[in-house]
Structure 1
Amino acid sequence: MGAVTFEVLAFGKTADDAFRNALEDATHMHGHGGYTGTIAEKSSIEVIPKREHKGKQKRHYAHQLIEDRDERIRHKWGPAGAINCSGTAAAKRYREQHGLKGKHGDVWLFFGWASH
């Protein structure tokens, strides 16, 4: 089986909560059979420190890490990358689209390689 890249936004009080929410959504939409090419294939995350992406476009930075095959997220069986997107236009849109305005928590971007 091969590998493909994925990226997904999710909301949670913590990065782990958002990750669990992203996993639930992906398994609901893509099934439980494995090799979906989605975050459903991941069992852990690697939070990218804010100092690395501060002042940068979050998705662009995530794409750069994927393109560079950053050691932390390059393996299809390894962790997904996680970047806190709170305060960005994308996070604001996500909150509005999902009825999360005023709820406590953060929007996270999860990304990386997944088995397909």
Structure 2
Amino acid sequence: MGSVDFYITASGPTLEAAFKQAREDAAGEHGHGGYTGTIAEKHEVTLIHTVPLTEDDAMKHAYGLIDICDPRVDDKWGPAGALPIRADGESTWLLFGCASY
């Protein structure tokens, strides 16, 4: 099987809570059988850096990391990457990486 890239935003009181909810939402929408090509396939998340970015800048940074096959996010069995996004209210992250498909 191959892999596909994913990019989603998620909010929550902590990165871990937002990641968990994003996984549950993806599994509910795409199934629990594996090989969904979504964040549902991820079991860990890695915070790439702590400085919040605009959503556009976070997307550009994530695309760049995927394009250069950054080892922190380039393994379909490894962790998802996370970048904090500047937002009013609850903490928000861009979650991204490649997932088995």
Q: Does the TM-score normalized on the shorter chain lie above 0.5? A: yes
Residue 79 (str. 1) matches residue 64 (str. 2): no
Shift, 1:54, TM fit:
5.3
User: Aligned match of 1:109 in 94, 98, 101?
Assistant: 94
SS class of match (1:70): coil
Shift, 1:107, TM fit:
1.0
Partner of 2:39: 39
Structure with more helix by fraction? 1
The code of the aligned residue for 2:50 comes to K
Deviations 1:40-93 (CA, angstroms, capped at 9, x unpaired): 000000101135x75770101000000111011110000000011123xxxx6x
Q: Distance in 2 between matches of 1:67 and 1:50?
A: 21
SS class of match (1:40): helix
Aligned pairs, number: 100
Identity of aligned residues (%): 46
- Which sections of structure 2, spanning at least 5 residues, go unmatched? none
RMSD: 1.8
Partner of 1:19: 19
Q: Is the 8 A contact 2:53 2:84 kept in 1?
A: no
Q: Distance in 1 between matches of 2:86 and 2:79?
A: 21
**Structure exhibiting the larger radius of gyration computed from Cα positions:** 1
**TM, length-normalised to structure 2:** 0.91
SS class of match (2:73): coil
- Which sections of structure 1, spanning at least 5 residues, go unmatched? 93-101
**TM, length-normalised to structure 1:** 0.80
Q: Distance in 1 between matches of 2:13 and 2:3?
A: 30
